[in-house]
Structure 1
């Protein structure tokens, strides 16, 4: 990271984003996310393109090719972007971490947790948890020691993150069903929508590979789970299984 100035590089990237901004989009997204941050109004595809170009340029200036930064540079650049309360800077920070996710390790989850706690919205929490923390944990099982603490944290965004961190393993055909049960058992009585939705999302993803397991779990918990959890869990189940579960739910 010799000669790398994270703050200056973050400022340069921000200036590269501004021409893609739209006042109308900025106002719309600010309302949609109910956010107090500043919005430039840049669409996510443009954010991804600008970030990728900036990373390529940085690496090319150091005689390297590709879009994979070293761990130290990626984390420093992301934190410099994140420190300003601007939506696009924070979205860009996440993109930089995603591009470098194979360079991150379990020790970096302390930084990811810090960002999750500061995020306060699904727009940042979900990729930080599902695309970054979960991807690191899939490679390095020691990551679960920290993620397990998230499942019982007092902050519902952190609890949601524990659930979403299970997703990469499920998609890689390595579902950790015991961990899912351990995480969700204390959460089933929660009234928080973002927890209920996340439980359903994880079940929906598991059902793509193991519909029988999801059907059994859902039937066993049909009287406890919320409507949103049930709908997501049953979404991809066979029609006859879904109909049976709907009947059981109606009779609960």
Structure 2
């Protein structure tokens, strides 16, 4: 492992708790391993790593995120997300390919949601007009995907902007209708993963709840789906 990845992994293991690990396994399932480190410990560990290894470049940050993600341990993958969130200003349009791979493998709200809301959304919000148009075409494809977690990520990505009273409502409506109309493979085989059947549909409700508080004049209809 690289020095930053080794530092993060060892620190997370020092913060491990078998009781929390068992609780996480019971709550999130057995698809991943769990150290039992708290969310606060994960965030603090990434913060300490960035202090020790200052000035990481775009390529170093993205490579480190992939290195952390490659091992199927929940806390390592959460650390990869926190790392990207902390360096979102460095991310580029082309990084959506990497993020798509993360979303496809995550299959948990606890990983997909922060990826969408705290990484994908701010990444796209920081792009110039030309690059944002290209990124929107990627999200258009995600919104039509049979994979419910990619649909969920596309739908949740504008949450920060919409909650703040800005954001492109028409784009969200378009993605929501695409998602609701998206064909399912093999009698919704893609939705057969745990919680998959509702993962995308409940994302629409999350956005509608947020918008109801900040922009109550906006309305959503599934017409055209």
TM-score range, shorter chain: 0.7 to 0.9
Q: For residue 126 of structure 2, what is the aligned residue in structure 1?
A: 139
CA distance in 2, matches of 1:187, 1:58: 41
Q: Which consecutive unaligned segments of at least 5 residues does structure 1 have?
A: 1-5, 224-252
The DSSP-based 3-state class of the residue aligned with 1:151 is helix
Superposition map of 1:73-88 within 5 A: 73-88=60-75
Q: Which consecutive unaligned segments of at least 5 residues does structure 2 have?
A: 183-190, 192-196
**TM-score, scaled to structure 1:** 0.76
Give how far 1:189 is off: 6.9
Q: For residue 112 of structure 2, what is the aligned residue in structure 1?
A: 125
**TM-score, scaled to structure 2:** 0.85
Aligned equivalent of 1:201, options 200, 203, 206: 206
Distance 1:105 1:173, change over 3 A: farther
RMSD: 2.2
Give how far 1:172 is off: 4.0
Aligned equivalent of 1:212, options 195, 202, 217: 217
- What count of residue pairs does the alignment treat as equivalent? 207
Superposition map of 1:78-117 within 5 A: 78-117=65-104
CA distance in 2, matches of 1:35, 1:128: 21
CA distance in 2, matches of 1:76, 1:39: 22
Q: For residue 57 of structure 1, what is the aligned residue in structure 2?
A: 52
Q: Does structure 1 residue 165 correspond to structure 2 residue 146?
A: no
CA distance in 2, matches of 1:193, 1:182: 19
CA distance in 1, matches of 2:68, 2:181: 37
Q: Does structure 1 residue 31 correspond to structure 2 residue 26?
A: yes
